Structure 1
Amino acid sequence: MENVLEGLQPNSNLKKLCISCYRGSKFSTWMKDLLLPNLVEISLENCRSYEHLPPLGKLPHLKVLVLTGSEFYGDGTIVFPSLESLELCDMTNLEEWRIVNGKESFPHLSTLLIAGCSRLEEFPIIPSVTSFTIRRSNAKLLCSVKNLTLLSFLAIEDFNKLTLLPDVLLRNHKMLVSLRIYYLCELESLANQFNSLSALKYLEISYCNKLQSLPEGIQKLCCLQSLHILCCYRFASFQMFGFGGLSSLRKLWIEKCEAFCSLSEGIQYLTALEELCLDKCPELISLPEGIRHLTNLRTLQL
C-alpha cells in the first residue's frame, strides 16, 4: 500500500489533495518531506492505520485541513501559519490536542468544527476563531468554548444526553451574532445563557424535546432580529416574560411545537416584527389582542 502511494507523487504545484480510505501505516516520502509546498487544501478521510501525520503545519499556504474518521498523534510542533478552516470529524481515539507554549499556532484559523470526538475533553485557546460548530462529542468540550471570545457564530448540535449547558458557556461572547442549538433532546433549561449576548441577532433552537420555556434573560437581547423555535415538542408559551426588550426582532417563527398554546400579550412591543409564523402548533387556538399593534407585520403564517 505504501509503495502505491509513493508512486503517485503529484506535481509540486498541486493545490488540493484528498486521500480517502488509505490503509497504509505510513505516508509517502513526498508527503513527509513536504514536497508539495503550494498545497492550499488537504482532506484525509478514513485513513485509520497511519501512525503519524506529516508535519502539515509547515506548509506555508495551507488554508483548509479536513481530518475525517482518523486518529492522529502530535508532538505539538505544528503551527499552521495560513490555515483558515479546520474540521476534526469522527476521531474517536483523539484524547489530547495541545499547543506548545511560546509558539504562535493557527494565527489565521477562523472556522473550527469538532464532530464525533468522544474522548477529547478540551481544546487549546485559539483567539482567531470566529465560527465554531461542535457536534456529537464529549460534553466537557463545551467548557472550552468560553475561551473563543471573538466568536460570531456558534452551533451546538446533537448532544442527546445533555440536560443543562455549562454556566460558563456563553459568558465571554459579546461579539456572538448567531447561535444555533440543535438536537439536544434532553435539554431542560437554558437558564443564565443569554445575559451577556448583547450582539446576538439570530437564535435558532431546534429538536430540544424537553425544553418548556425560554429564560427571562432573553429580554436582554436588544439586537435580536430572528428567533426560530422548531420541533421543541414541550415548549408551551412565552407567558413567563414579555417581549419588551426585543425591540429589534423582525422574524418570530414557532414551528411544530405540539404543546405551544399561547403568545404573550407583550407581543405588542415587538414593533419591528415583520414575519410571524405559528405553523403546526395544534394547541394554539387564539392570538392575543396585542397583535393589532404590529404595524410593520407583513407576513402571518398559521
Structure 2
Amino acid sequence: MPELPEVETTRRKLEPLLLGRTIVRIEHDAPDKYRDTHRAHGRVVRDLTRRGKYILARLQDPDGHEDDAELIVHLGMTGGFRYEPGPHTRVTLHTDEGAIYYQDARKFGKWAVVDPGAYASMPTLAGMGPEPLGDDFAVDAFVRAAATCGPVKPWLLSQVPVAGVGNIYADESLWRARIHPAQRRLTLDEATRLHAAIREVMAEAVQAGGSTLSDGTYAQPDGLSGLFQQQHNAYARDGEPCARCGTTITKSVLAQRGTHHCPACQVRRD
C-alpha cells in the first residue's frame, strides 16, 4: 500500500491543485529521504503523471523555456497527501496558491528531484514494465514471459511484467484468473486470463478510488476513503468463504508477503 489505484486516485485529486502552479518551496527535515527538493523551488508544474506507484511532476524553469527538472514521489507503505497538516506530516509543499501536506506514519516514502528521466538511482522505476491500463500492456508479450515466470505472485510484484501491481491487486487478480499464487509456469490460457484479470481489477479499483483497509492508512487527499475493499474477493478475506465456490480463503506467506487464495479455485499444478 498504496498501489497503482491509490496513487492514481491521489494524482487525480492533486492535479487541479498543482498543474500550472509555481512551487515556492518544499519544507522537510529529512534530506536523505527527500532529495534535492530545493531544485523544485521557483519551478512551474507543467505536467503531473504517474508511472506504476510513482507520481511524477515535470517542472519548467521560471522563464517557461524548457522542462529542466522532475519531482518524483513514492508514497511507500503509509504515505499520502492531505489538504491540512496532521501529526504525521513530513513534507509541506508550498505553491503560489497555498500548501499541500505529505504525511507518512512509517516514513518509508521518498521524494527526489532529478533531471528529466534520470532514474539511474531508482532501479525499480527505471526498469518498470508497461502500465496495466495502457496499450503497451500487450497480451502476447505477457504470455511469453509468463511461460517461465517462476512463482507468479512475486513475479508480478517485481514490477517487471506490469507496473503498479502490489500485494492487494496481485491477490485479487490471481483469484479472478483462478491461478495459484505460487504457480511457476503459466499456460497460454492461464496467462491470457491473468492479463485480462489485471486489467479488470485495476480499472475497477481506480474507479472505486482504491482500497482503504482496516488500519485506515490510505485515504484520498480530501479525506475520502477508497471503496474497492468492498469488492475484495481474496485479499484480507482469510477465514471467509470464497465468493465463487464457498471454500474458505486461506492465508500463507510467499516471498515474505501475506498471500490469500482459494484452495479449491486456485489449484497449483506443479
Identify whether the pair has TM-score above 0.5, normalized to the shorter chain.
no
TM norm structure 2: 0.25
Q: Considering only CA atoms, is the larger Rg found in Structure 1 or Structure 2?
A: 1
TM norm structure 1: 0.23
User: Looking at both structures, which has the greater relative contact order when contacts are Cα pairs under 8 Å and sequence separation is at least 6?
Assistant: 2
Higher percent of residues as helix: 2
